[in-house]
Amino acid sequence: LANGELIAWTGKTDNVYSTISSTPEYKPTLLGSIPHMDEAAAMNVLDVACKAYGKGQGSWPTMKVSDRVACMDKFVAKMSTKREEVVELLMWEIGKSLGDSQKEFDRTVEYINDTIEDYKQLDRNSAKFSKRDGVNAHIRRGPLGVVLCLGPYNYPLNETFALLIPALIMGNTVIFKPAKHGVLLISPLLEAFRDSFPKGAVNIIYGRGREVAAPIMASGRIDVLALIGNSKSAIALQDQHPHKNRLRLVLGLEAKNPAIILPDADLDLTIEECLSGTLSFNGQRCTALKIVYVHEAVREEFSKRFAKRVDELKFGNPWETGVKLTPLPEADKPQYIQELIDDAQEKGAKILNEKGGNTTDNFIFPAVMFPVTQEMRIYKEEQFGPVIPVKEFTDIQELLNEIADSNYGQQVSLFGSDIKELAPLIDTLVNLVCRVNLNSACQRGPDVFPFTGRKDSAVGTLSVHDALRSFSIRTFVASKDN
């Protein structure tokens, strides 16, 4: 699609199902369908995006800042009228609770508005001249070209837009592929895209990555690959590009964020933060706490109380009141989580909570596993779902080394009370990850703060402020005093 209008497809459609049943006897629900695209259709969309960029001379990349802002304002106003439809689809497509679906929508609107304000500020700053040795420099930021964006299923609206919006406002033209789960919720917004932007500025491809995104990358005509998801997909797409040194990457990838619980931690607070940190949206967040390290002095008490709290969480459909755990949108996820549990049990771990591992057709109840060792899959893999590994530690230095050896480096949650003991730990931890959360769960927001990671967790920084820079390049006009 180019700005919401179908320009190329195969004439076929693909059905979209929800793992939520609408009948008492379990049966996935057919929600709708999307155009089936193949390589030829994807290449047509690419042509449109490249033409709109016009080698930097198209109407969008050369548009005046105030006009581009007006397009964005128009879009966000039209988008805001679609809240109810999008929220409904978020619940059905990805199983996100009503409250969290509403938050995702509102957060996205706020993100766009903040981006518009920051973009105006950036423009005001670029009006200032720098001067050195008789040379005046009028520094500004310009677009990079054609951007391919791929968002994840856990935030199919918010994180897709966290890539798309900054890329677009900086004057790039964009092709985006909606997440596999959360693909239909883009449909209510197509009209807003069509009515707000010049043709070819925003384009959509549907289908399997290897059939539609891979050939677009292989064309060598993409300037920025922006992806939030797994590194396997990011590497596979990157590898398709014939001129890797020309390709800019903006990537939000996996993480295995640890909680560290010190002996003097306030356990009431720690347990509640670990509960939301590990299990909000069933643990399907890159920022989720994915392993809990607890000091031996409090391990028994923490584990017992934490396991009890997990069992108190209510499972149900997203629109039900008080529901904290909801159906998993990936039909094969319960099986994967079960495999992790089986592997850990074979290697000596036990399930600490009574309901842990209980399955229904579209869900597996979170299992708290202890003791977890480095040989277990649950120690190494980013589970991205409802299973919680707990590991005891005695020596904090050994634990810091273990965290330093991880392939990931996004965030950590540190729980303790004695600031004299915490301060040097924080100083070390900020060199191992990018955000240390003190006595609180890991999270991405507020979105004005930098969102990034070390090692395999990220490339580039996403936040309102940083994303504008990630999707642009500094250019300047120089003049001499005569």
Binding site for ligand G3H (CB under 6 A): 154-155, 159, 285-287, 443-445
CB atoms within 10 A of CB 26: 11
State the minimum distance, in angstroms, from the CB of residue 88 to ligand G3H.
21
DSSP string, 327-387: --SSTTHHHHHHHHHHHHHHTT-EE-STTTT-EETTEE--EEEES--TTSHHHHS---SSE
User: Phi/psi of residue 76, each to 5°?
Assistant: -70, -35
User: Among residues 21 and 440, whose Cβ is nearest to ligand G3H?
Assistant: 440
User: Among residues 53 and 384, whose Cβ is nearest to ligand G3H?
Assistant: 384
Element (DSSP H or E) covering residue 235: helix 231-240
State the minimum distance, in angstroms, from the CB of residue 442 to ligand G3H.
7
CA distance 92 to 340: 27
User: Among residues 113 and 428, whose Cβ is nearest to ligand G3H?
Assistant: 113
The tokens of 47 are what? 């042509």
State the minimum distance, in angstroms, from the CB of residue 150 to ligand G3H.
13
State the minimum distance, in angstroms, from the CB of residue 240 to ligand G3H.
24
Residues 61, 190, 221, 244, Cα dihedral to 10°: 100
State the minimum distance, in angstroms, from the CB of residue 191 to ligand G3H.
28
Query: Which residue's C-beta sits nearest to ligand G3H?
Result: 286
CA distance 353 to 367: 7
State the minimum distance, in angstroms, from the CB of residue 230 to ligand G3H.
11
Tell me the sheet residues that pair with 5.
2
User: Among residues 42 and 289, whose Cβ is nearest to ligand G3H?
Assistant: 289
The tokens of 120 are what? 């105006």
Query: Is residue 431 classed exposed, middle or buried when 0-12, 13-18 and 19+ CB atoms within 10 A define those classes?
Result: exposed
User: Among residues 52 and 179, whose Cβ is nearest to ligand G3H?
Assistant: 179
DSSP string, 121-136: HHHHHHTSEEEETTEE
State the minimum distance, in angstroms, from the CB of residue 285 to ligand G3H.
4
Say if CB 47 and CB 8 are below 8 A apart: no
User: Among residues 263 and 445, whose Cβ is nearest to ligand G3H?
Assistant: 445
User: Among residues 129 and 449, whose Cβ is nearest to ligand G3H?
Assistant: 449
User: Among residues 168 and 289, whose Cβ is nearest to ligand G3H?
Assistant: 289
Say if CB 353 and CB 310 are below 8 A apart: yes
Q: Would you give the DSSP letter of residue 443?
A: -
State the minimum distance, in angstroms, from the CB of residue 134 to ligand G3H.
47
User: Among residues 349 and 433, whose Cβ is nearest to ligand G3H?
Assistant: 433
State the minimum distance, in angstroms, from the CB of residue 436 to ligand G3H.
15
Residue entry with tokens 């003991």:
421
